[in-house]
């Protein structure tokens, strides 16, 4: 192991999501290969005992050390995965074992940088490590995180968020993006991009990229709001003011705002902007359309409005987004 190796401790417990504990080590292992051993990470799995741990996928994993042993070492990065359960209605609920929370709190005190993968953010929040911080998690449990921990500023959209020395990642494959961002932070962007190529990842996504697209968001429980959502997408190039939408729905503007807040958790104007950004993203990825044409077809009005929306929603510009995410269009 390189003298520059940084110790990464991954928390292991019964029912943990398998990809959460196997994805990041794949990224970290390639650092040493890409630098011919000049730099890298020492990754260990820590659990309460040395007994095999059964993951959510049914695969059993052997710990490298116990939590007690890990607490005697100087940890560079503590990586906290998560676990969920679902009910008969397929509603997902993040689990937070108090014993694991206590271990996370203890290990975090010896750690330079604390990170969570997917619903591991719930464990960090329960340990008090996200108080006053902005954080993300898998979109399916974001409302639970916000409700259980109002002291945390939950943002379910980005694939990962850094707030000081605490990093939180979104769901499933976003663990690779988070790990690549950690590599870039430690050893530079160029090395992270080389690792991304070895993983056959099309690119290394920036933190501002959304976890999911507007049309894939959980649908409303009322036919009226579903009709409004489809109306917005069908007429995305039109003004679509709150007055326009209220008239279409045959309700007052204040009532329309209350309906959107209750059903979609946002305002009509914010939803329209997110829908415009989604359509613009698709055009930037798959067409040669100029920014002026995208502005017109998506209803932004001006290029400045388009740029501001992208900065607000994705923390990037349309030009930078196209450079990073453009697919071949023939």
Lowest mean pLDDT among 62-76, 120-134, 199-213, 301-315: 199-213
pLDDT category of residue 189 using cuts at 50, 70 and 90: confident
**Of 197 and 248, the one with more pLDDT:** 248
The residues pairing with 153 across neighbouring beta strands, listed in sequence order, are 134
Residue 137 · residue 155 · CB < 8 Å: no
Output the pLDDT for position 327: 52
| Residue 272 Cα distances to 118, 209, 210, 215, 298, angstroms | 28, 18, 16, 12, 10
pTM over 0.95: no
- Residue range 202-227: average pLDDT? 57
- Residue range 104-127: average pLDDT? 97
**Of 99 and 197, the one with more pLDDT:** 99
- Residue range 98-113: average pLDDT? 97
pLDDT category of residue 202 using cuts at 50, 70 and 90: very low
Strand pairing report for 111-116 and 75-80: parallel
Distance CA 307, CA 309 (A): 5
Does domain 214-325 fall into CATH 1.10.10.60?
yes
Q: What percent of the chain has pLDDT over 70?
A: 90
Average pLDDT, the chain: 89
- Residue range 74-95: average pLDDT? 92
Position of tokens 């930078």?
A: 320
Output the pLDDT for position 4: 67
Does domain 6-198 fall into CATH 3.40.50.880?
yes
CA dihedral sign of residues 121, 125, 128, 133: positive
Output the pLDDT for position 207: 52
- 238 phi/psi in degrees, rounded to 5: -90, 170
**Of 271 and 325, the one with more pLDDT:** 271
Lowest mean pLDDT among 44-58, 105-119, 196-210: 196-210
Distance CA 137, CA 126 (A): 14
Q: Where in the chain is the domain with CATH 1.10.10.60?
A: 214-325
Output the pLDDT for position 209: 53
Residue 112 · residue 165 · CB < 8 Å: yes
- pLDDT at residue 150 greater than cutoff 60: yes
Q: Residue 201's CB: how many other CB atoms inside 10 A?
A: 16
Output the pLDDT for position 13: 98
- pLDDT at residue 54 greater than cutoff 70: yes
**Of 187 and 171, the one with more pLDDT:** 187
CA angle 181, 311, 256 (to 5 degrees): 120
- pLDDT at residue 8 greater than cutoff 60: yes
Contacts of 215 (CB under 8 A, 6+ apart): 233, 278
Joined together, the tokens standing for residue 96 give 């937070």
The alpha-helical segments, DSSP class H, found in 35-141 are 67-70, 98-108, 120-126
Lowest mean pLDDT among 92-101, 106-115, 127-136, 276-285: 276-285
Lowest mean pLDDT among 20-34, 53-67, 105-119, 191-205: 191-205
Output the pLDDT for position 205: 54
9 closest CA partner among 66, 55, 53, 49: 66
Q: Where in the chain is the domain with CATH 3.40.50.880?
A: 6-198
Output the pLDDT for position 210: 56
Q: What percent of the chain has pLDDT over 90?
A: 68
**Of 68 and 285, the one with more pLDDT:** 68
Output the pLDDT for position 203: 46
CA 109 to chain centre: 24
**Of 222 and 39, the one with more pLDDT:** 39
Position of tokens 């029912």?
A: 15
């Amino acid at each position: 192991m390189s003298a520059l190796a940084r110790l990464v401790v991954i928390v292991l417990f019964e029912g943990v999501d398998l990809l959460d504990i196997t994805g990041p080590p794949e990224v970290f292992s390639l650092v040493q290969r890409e630098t011919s051993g000049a730099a890298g990470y020492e990754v260990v799995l820590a659990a309460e005992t040395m007994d095999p741990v059964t993951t959510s996928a049914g695969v059993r994993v052997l710990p490298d050390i116990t939590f007690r042993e890990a607490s005697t070492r100087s940890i560079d990065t503590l990586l906290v995965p998560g676990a969920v359960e679902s009910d008969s209605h397929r509603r997902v609920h993040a689990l937070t074992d108090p014993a694991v929370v206590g271990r996370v709190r203890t290990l975090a005190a010896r750690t330079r940088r604390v990170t969570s993968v997917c619903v591991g953010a719930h464990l960090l929040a329960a340990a008090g490590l996200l108080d006053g911080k902005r954080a993300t998690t898998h979109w399916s449990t974001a409302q639970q995180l916000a409700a259980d921990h109002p002291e945390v500023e939950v943002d379910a959209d980005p694939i990962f968020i850094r707030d000081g020395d605490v990093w939180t990642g979104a769901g499933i494959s976003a663990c690779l993006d988070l790990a690549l961002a950690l590599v870039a932070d430690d050893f530079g962007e160029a090395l992270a991009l080389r690792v991304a190529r070895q993983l056959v990842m099309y690119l290394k996504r920036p933190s501002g990229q959304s976890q999911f697209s507007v049309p894939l968001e959980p649908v409303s429980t009322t036919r009226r709001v579903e009709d409004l959502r489809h109306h917005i997408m069908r007429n995305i190039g039109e003004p679509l003011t709150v007055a326009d939408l209220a008239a279409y729905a045959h309700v007052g503007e204040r009532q329309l705002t209350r309906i959107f807040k209750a059903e979609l958790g946002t305002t009509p104007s914010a939803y329209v902007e997110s829908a415009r950004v989604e359509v613009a993203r698709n055009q930037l990825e798959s067409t040669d359309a100029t920014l002026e044409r995208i502005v017109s077809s998506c209803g932004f009005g001006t290029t400045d409005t388009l740029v501001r929306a992208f900065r607000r929603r994705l923390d990037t510009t349309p030009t930078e987004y196209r450079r990073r995410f453009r697919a071949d269009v023939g």
